[in-house]
A and B are shown apart, each in its own frame.
Chain A
Amino acid sequence: MGGFLPPAESRSNLLLVAYAAASLVLLLTGDRLPQSALRGVGAALFAPFDRVVLAGDRLSAAWRENARLHQRLADLELENVRLRDEGVENQRLREQLGLASRRPSALRPVEVLALTGEPIPSAATLSAGERHGVRVGDVVIERDGLVGRVTEVYPTLSRATLLTEPNNAVACEVESAGVMGVLHYVTTPRPRLVLTGLSFTDTVRVGQRVITSGLSRHYPRALPVGTIARVNRDAGGFTQDIEVAPAVRLSKLRHAFVIPRTDSLPESR
């Protein structure tokens, strides 16, 4: 075929064929390649640019946030005094009942350098990595609730898979109702978080909070995940489709906290 075409055109055609063939091979075998290492190199290369691009946005957001945080700090200090008092009482009661004591989680603040995925981000590049003590499996949270888990760790950066990654599943419960389910992100017929695995006899209401359950080995218990936004029951009432509005605005992530994964924490009594 090349003989019928001018040389430049023939070269372009060959290039396209080569690219198409390479793409198809990658589509079929890409999962076997060491993508994590390549992404680590890419994240390290892009991190300085990300910081520059985000600098302006961060500065203006920090300015606005400062006043709000001052107010919140004052409120939290007052609340903290009350909670300390109740914590002592709680500890005493748990000891009397023979329950294991709870240890506070150590929070490591990190900056979110980049978000991946459209239209809803499904992964985030974090500004801390192996050298800062971040490990695969660490939980990522934000002030309002659960964000996701660290799935790849590089020397100075890491990558977290968010709740909105379709392959991610989080064992959850509906607060105060004791209803257990598994949270998934589905993209069709429209993107949303869905709580599945509920018994059809379970009764939940719109507005109830969804938190991580004690059944999950990946996440500590009682992290806020979202609130029930819609309950769709089928005509026969045998199944229900529960939509959850996330507690955290994942598209606006700027900062987050990393909690060491549960098995790395010292054993509770």
Chain B
Amino acid sequence: MKTAFGLVSLVVVALLLRSTALSVLAARGVVLDVLAFVTVLWALKSGEGWGSTFGFVLGLVSDLDAGHWLGRHALALAALGYVVGRLSRSLVRDSVRTQLVILFVVTFLHQTWSLLFELRGPVGLGFLLGRAAVAGAATALAGTVALILVHWGAGQPLFGHADIQSGPAH
């Protein structure tokens, strides 16, 4: 029940941010992909089952809001939530480097997938990949800084230890 409430709250917050503050930034060319960010966050915390569920619900609501291609974000975010959730078992989830890389890769993939639907030929492919890479870098940096700040504020690890920690075996 608590998890479901958290899921709904995070979906609402993400969509509100996306339609208000972040839309101004996006118009200036800096796309902060809050959908990818919160999906990564949820999947790292809760694993692949909840990760894909969260991604699917968030994606579906945002597809509905966009008015085109129902299922576009839902499919990508469900798959990415699942993959990140699976990876979270074997990663040091509180590592800044891990968060940076995961956020970059997930945002890049999500943006590329979403932008592919706008492509009307091979002409814009370079521009599309460039836009996805910029969005990936911006989201990774901003997201990692946000997680560091929350970590400092909370005074404890955000995600706890992974099932299998990396490093030399004892």
Q: What is A's interface to B at a CB cutoff of 8 Å?
A: 8-9, 11-12, 15-16, 19-20, 22-27, 30-31, 33, 35, 38-39, 42, 46, 49-50, 53-54, 57, 114-121, 123, 125, 166, 186-190, 250-252
Contacts and interface: CB of A to CB of B under 8 A. Distances in A.
Contacts of B20: 50, 53-54, 57, 114-115
Q: Binding site of A, secondary structure by majority: helix, strand, loop or mixed?
A: helix
A49 B14 CA distance: 12
Interface residues of B, number: 50
Interface of B: 12, 15-21, 23-24, 26-29, 31, 47-49, 52-53, 55-56, 59-61, 63-67, 69-72, 74-75, 78-79, 82, 85, 118-121, 123-124, 126-128, 131
A118 B23 contact: yes
Contacts of B47: 12
B31 A30 contact: no
Given A118-B23, A189-B124, A16 B29 contact: no
Contacts of B55: 19
Given A12-B82, A16-B78, A50-B16, A22 B65 contact: no
Contact of B23 (A23, A121, A187): A121
Given A19-B53, A42-B64, 16 more contacts: A8-B49, A12-B47, A15-B49, A27-B70, A30-B70, A38-B64, A39-B64, A42-B65, A115-B20, A116-B65, A119-B27, A125-B19, A186-B120, A189-B123, A190-B124, A190-B127
B116 to A, nearest CB: 11
A1 B91 CA distance: 25
28 contacts: A12-B49, A12-B85, A15-B52, A16-B78, A19-B52, A20-B75, A20-B78, A20-B79, A23-B56, A23-B60, A24-B75, A25-B71, A26-B60, A27-B70, A27-B71, A30-B63, A30-B71, A38-B64, A53-B16, A118-B23, A119-B26, A119-B29, A187-B118, A187-B120, A188-B120, A188-B128, A189-B123, A190-B124
